[in-house]
Chains A and B, each alone.
Chain A
């Protein structure tokens, strides 16, 4: 399968790889997917509680090149956004940006789920009533 230049670039130079201390109250962690399905994404955000702005984002992904690229791109987009703006990121934005073929759309869906799970985790820590976990699809 041929990959788009952007997927190859994110694969070769993944942005924001790493882990944050998930015990911290200003860090939200989202982990979605399953090893049996061939992809697991862990996405973390660090939020400035005063401004509500995501100041840092990190990821680690087990999955194909498109899954790695989707989560790498997601961390780029998250930085500097408010939590509410971050919730606006749609999987179709990722599909368009990375030119993902139809068989790889699930990678972008997983990235969107990871963003939502991370924000959900952060909000829960902040004491906001969190909606039920609905990462499965």
Chain B
């Protein structure tokens, strides 16, 4: 077992060796520019790019002509949302999104708010799902876009994408989904789901960092975008810039592997995740699952360990790589806005740990992590005045704290 054990696969994933192997020739012998139309170097690069486009399109049930390459999902989200806002400005200026979106969506929306757009941030139900009636009610004749993520990066909760797609279609509103956590993990199909724009990135599905894609629907309706990058008019004018050929080859290979191995891999990860959860719940009291388990990525577990602060927990499990919703682990010193949006008190948000299992994790690792968590939580609870009060039957919500 190599340490630290990596259980942070929602943050990023290692490149699959098969993906790396596919990429390597495109750094050296096939180094051509895919836009060079008049020699063999260019043709080889272009062939590789078109193969990658097909592999990505196949994973999400799209046509390869509908794939626009970007530098990653942050750029894909920016291009989708700003591109629609500018292109459809005459039709309306209202965008609907949700409070638990990734910052690449939320901050893009805030940027547009300053430029005169109106943004509705839908709240979430306690289970982490959006309320479809609230979504319906939020749509006005000025609404041009709904942007709701496929699956959340912290709690792994999968939104009712198909229903959202239906509502968007009925009301003639475009639907964008940030699907970086879902693609390659669960079946995603832009036709069945009624998605018009979809963001994807390489490094969350065992591909390289620095490459991503935006699916842009070409039929029913034909979605148009205002480019956010001016230049050589690559990618049908939607995204200028010389294509990252090795990256695209890697993203394509990663998509093909993910599609082929998804049934087996998701069943295996689900079993490992469920074992981790069961072991922790059997051996520790006062642990809480954040978000519904019913609609959730197979590799995600997000748990709060009451009366134990998240950063001190991470310090105790320093041979395990996970992340915490604790304020102390974030740059802003604010606890996770995703957990707060579920209605979780700051106290539980401070005690949360996100486990993200991945392709290269083993059952032995799950056993080790579970035991280590149990030991450290017990040790820190012995140190915790809150645990002592809880055990003495004190109602902590009634204590007068000296907030600072």
27 contacts between A and B (CB under 8 A): A8-B315, A11-B312, A11-B316, A17-B382, A17-B383, A31-B402, A34-B401, A35-B346, A35-B396, A36-B403, A38-B311, A38-B335, A38-B350, A40-B385, A40-B401, A62-B308, A62-B383, A62-B385, A62-B386, A64-B309, A64-B312, A67-B309, A68-B312, A103-B333, A106-B404, A113-B402, A136-B404
Within 8 A of B (CB), among A31-78: 31-42, 60-65, 67-68
Main secondary structure of the interface of B (DSSP, over half): helix
Main secondary structure of the interface of A (DSSP, over half): mixed
B375 within 8 A of A: no
Whole-angstrom distance between the alpha carbons of A39 and B345 in the complex?
14
Q: Known: A40-B401, A136-B403. Contact between A60 and B388, CB under 8 A?
A: yes
Residue pair B315, A65 in contact (C-beta under 8 Å): yes
Whole-angstrom distance between the alpha carbons of A46 and B308 in the complex?
27
A14 within 8 A of B: yes
Interface residues of B, Cβ cutoff 8 Å to A: 307-312, 315-316, 326-328, 333, 335, 345-347, 350, 382-388, 396, 401-404
A100 within 8 A of B: no
Number of interface residues of A (CB under 8 A): 35
Residue pair B404, A137 in contact (C-beta under 8 Å): yes
A89 within 8 A of B: no
Which 6 pairs from chain A and chain B are nearest by CB? A34-B401, A35-B347, A42-B385, A64-B311, A36-B346, A60-B385
Specify which of A32, A35, A106, A113 is in contact with B386 (CB 8 Å cutoff).
Answer: A35
A72 closest partner in B (C-beta): B383
Chain B nearest CB, measured from A68 CB (Å): 6
Residues of A within 8 A of B327 (CB): 38
Chain A nearest CB, measured from B352 CB (Å): 11
Residues of A within 8 A of B382 (CB): 17
Whole-angstrom distance between the alpha carbons of A42 and B392 in the complex?
15
Residues of B within 8 A of A19 (CB): 388
Specify which of A33, A39, A61, A64 is in contact with B383 (CB 8 Å cutoff).
Answer: A61
Residues of B within 8 A of A64 (CB): 309, 311-312, 315, 326, 328
A30 closest partner in B (C-beta): B402
Residue pair B311, A62 in contact (C-beta under 8 Å): no
Chain B nearest CB, measured from A67 CB (Å): 8
Whole-angstrom distance between the alpha carbons of A64 and B328 in the complex?
7
Residues of A within 8 A of B388 (CB): 19, 42, 60
Residue pair B384, A36 in contact (C-beta under 8 Å): no
Residues of A within 8 A of B307 (CB): 62
Chain B nearest CB, measured from A56 CB (Å): 17
